[in-house]
Amino acid sequence: MLKNTIIVLFIIVSILACRSGGDKSGILELDESEILEGDLEISKETIDDIIQSVSSPVEMAALVKGLGVDYSNKYLAPTDKADELSDRFSQALNLGIFAADLGYLNMYNKTSSVIEYISAIKTLADEIRVGQFFDFNTLKRLAQNYQNLDSLMYLSLRSFNEMDQYLRDNNRSGESALIITGVWIEGLYLATQVANDSPNHPELAERIGEQKIILEKLVLIIDNYKKNKQFAGLLEDLNEINSYFKDIEIKYIPGEPVSKINERGELEITQNEQSVVEISDEQLKDIIAIAKKIRDKIIKV
Amino acid sequence: MKTIIKIISVLLFFFSSTLYSQDLTQLVAQCAANSGNVTYLKDFVVKLDAGTPGGAPPTARFAMILSKNAMYRFSICTAPTSDGDAVLQLMDMNRLLGSTFIQATGKEFPYFDFKCQKTGVYHVFISFKEGKAGEGVGILSLVKKF
């Protein structure tokens, strides 16, 4: 009887050992109190809801590409010092920055640089113990094979989403908030730099102005963790950006949605309610400057 | 013997949870691939129990920010083991903007496209027809910016 029990226990231990094989750090548990202090002022559900709602790392890049703007590597954050980022706070924030850059590279099919950014993301993800979501070898293989660009984009984004979900499911919403803040700041930086270099895109100015909606939500989340010094610093930075957004007006024109079945038999819905952003050249100029200042501060090792 | 049964139960639990997550990962990949020539953005994985007779069907809710001048595709896929068929609805506050199932005609769509004209927070609701139990995946993709 005892012998059988020992055998079965041995099997269980072996299986559990295999199951944790994907996590190279060997430690999945993290105590959020390491980087967070104090009680949350808004519920965890609300925080998770906001984090989940924030746009994907590729959306701003898709907008820029949609405008016909050429690719430029000058908009990317350098990855060479990724392994010098020594604290969990900077690692999470910069992971978001690199994820947005990876979205930009993927959008323009710049596979030669993709590997460098996947590698930097993997380094930081390992540091904050979520590296198990990035299958570096598969991503690298896809990046080297020009026929699998859609798969590369899908796997990159899916890995990012899985990591984010894992953090939120494991009471690590603070790190998740940092990552999406990094994604957002890099997206804002990309859009504002493109607006600076190619000022003939009024639509881009409108999309930049709309970032006010997301920024207000990020401020709300980061404010919850402000008892931590690093979070308080980030909150100050976000509030500084916010001070340039506060006078931008967003108006809404009412309208009813219209549905139709197109020639391919697909259901298409057009929203007729519209948002209209009023942003002056002066406001845009200020936002371009503040976005650069804060983003450069974050990527500085 | 009882001890061994308990241990085997624990083993089966670990195996089944592993298989469960693998199946859903595959379902997400398959659903994203079936969405057509679009850019995957997010997925919404749901597992819902059956509702009570006469009650509202259990529903999962997900928030997202959509941007003006973008066309998004909302796809829905039901796991083969589900009792019911998954339905995805897009809501703006309390207003229904689109659904993969049109109640009035009984017509079902694997996805629908949404031309967004207003940047803001929207919600996806996923439920199963007649409040049945099921597992499913919703996918948000970007069709194009316009």
> Nearest C-alpha of chain B: how many angstroms from A171?
18
Q: A44-48, A228-232, B19-23 — which one is most confidently predicted on average?
A: A228-232
- Give the chain A residue whose CA is nearest to the CA of B139: A158
pLDDT classification of A47: cutoffs 50, 70, 90: confident
For residue B20, is pLDDT > 70? no
* Predicted local confidence at residue A194, as pLDDT: 97
Average model confidence (pLDDT) across chain A: 87
For residue A4, is pLDDT > 70? no
Q: What is the mean pLDDT of residues A95-119?
A: 93
For residue A29, is pLDDT > 50? no
pLDDT classification of A23: cutoffs 50, 70, 90: very low
* Predicted local confidence at residue A13, as pLDDT: 46
What are the pLDDT digits (tens) for B70-84?
999 999 999 999 999
* Predicted local confidence at residue B136, as pLDDT: 96
- Say how far apart CA A226 and CA A240 lie, in whole Å: 15
What is residue B39's three-state secondary structure? strand
Place of tokens 């009984």: B106
pLDDT classification of A142: cutoffs 50, 70, 90: confident
CB–CB contact B41 A4 (8 Å): no
What are the pLDDT digits (tens) for A156-200?
999 999 999 999 999 899 999 999 999 999 999 999 999 999 988
Which DSSP helix (H) or strand (E) runs through B22?
helix B2-34
Which of A21-35, A82-96, A114-128, B111-125 is the least confident region? A21-35
Which of A14-28, A141-155, A251-265, B27-41 is the least confident region? A14-28
* Predicted local confidence at residue A104, as pLDDT: 95
ipTM: 0.85
Q: Which of A231, A189, A193 is nearest to A211 (CA)?
A: A189
Across the interface, of B29, B65, B118, the residue whose CB is closest to A53 is: B65
Find residues 8-37 of chain B whose CB sits inside 8 Å of chain A.
8, 10-11, 14-15, 18, 28-29, 32
Q: What is the mean pLDDT of residues B111-140?
A: 96
pLDDT classification of A31: cutoffs 50, 70, 90: very low
| DSSP sequence for B70-132 | EEEEEEEEE-TT-SS-EEEEEEETTEEEEESEETTTTEE-SEEEEEE-S-EEEEEEEEEGGG-
What token pair was written down for A258?
A: 């219209």
What is residue B55's three-state secondary structure? coil
* Predicted local confidence at residue A49, as pLDDT: 86
Beta carbons of A17 and A23 less than 8 angstroms apart = no
- Say how far apart CA B15 and CA A133 lie, in whole Å: 20
Beta carbons of A219 and A235 less than 8 angstroms apart = yes
| Residues of B with Cβ-Cβ distance to A56 under 8 angstroms | 41-42, 142
* Predicted local confidence at residue A215, as pLDDT: 96
Q: What are phi and psi of A249, to 5 degrees?
A: -105, 135
Instruction: State the burial class of residue B96 (Cβ atoms within 10 Å of its Cβ: 0-12, 13-18, 19+).
Output: exposed
Q: Which of A19, A57, A61, A221 is nearest to B16 (CA)?
A: A19
Find residues 35-94 of chain B whose CB sits inside 8 Å of chain A.
39-43, 62-65, 67-70, 90, 92
Which of A73-77, A171-175, B22-26 is the least confident region? B22-26
For residue B8, is pLDDT > 60? no
Average model confidence (pLDDT) across chain B: 88
- Say how far apart CA A181 and CA A284 lie, in whole Å: 20
Q: How many CA atoms lie within 13 A of B112 on its CB side?
A: 26
* SS3 assignment for chain A: CHHHHHHHHHHHHHHHHHHHHHCCCCCCCCCHHHCCCCCCCCCHHHHHHHHHHCCCCCHHHHHHHHCCCCCCHHHCCCCCCHHHCCCHHHHHHHHHHHHHHHHHHHHCCCHHHHHHHHHHHHHHHHHCCCHHHCCHHHHHHHHHCHHHHHHHHHHHHHHHHHHHHHHHHCCCHHHHHHHHHHHHHHHHHHHHHHHHHCCCCHHHHHHHHHHHHHHHHHHHHHHCCCCCHHHHHHHHHHHHHHHHHCCCEEEEECCCCEEEECCCCCEEEECCCEEEEECCHHHHHHHHHHHHHHHHHHHCC
Which residues, in sequence order, are CB contacts of A105 under 8 Å at separation 6+?
Answer: A76, A111, A113, A114, A117
More confident residue, B6 or A79: A79
- Say how far apart CA B70 and CA A36 lie, in whole Å: 37
CB–CB contact B64 A210 (8 Å): no
Share of chain B above pLDDT 70, in %: 85
CB–CB contact A270 B3 (8 Å): no
pLDDT classification of A18: cutoffs 50, 70, 90: very low
pTM of the model: 0.86
What are the pLDDT digits (tens) for B86-116?
999 999 998 999 999 998 899 999 999 999 9
Across the interface, of A4, A53, A266, the residue whose CB is closest to B121 is: A53
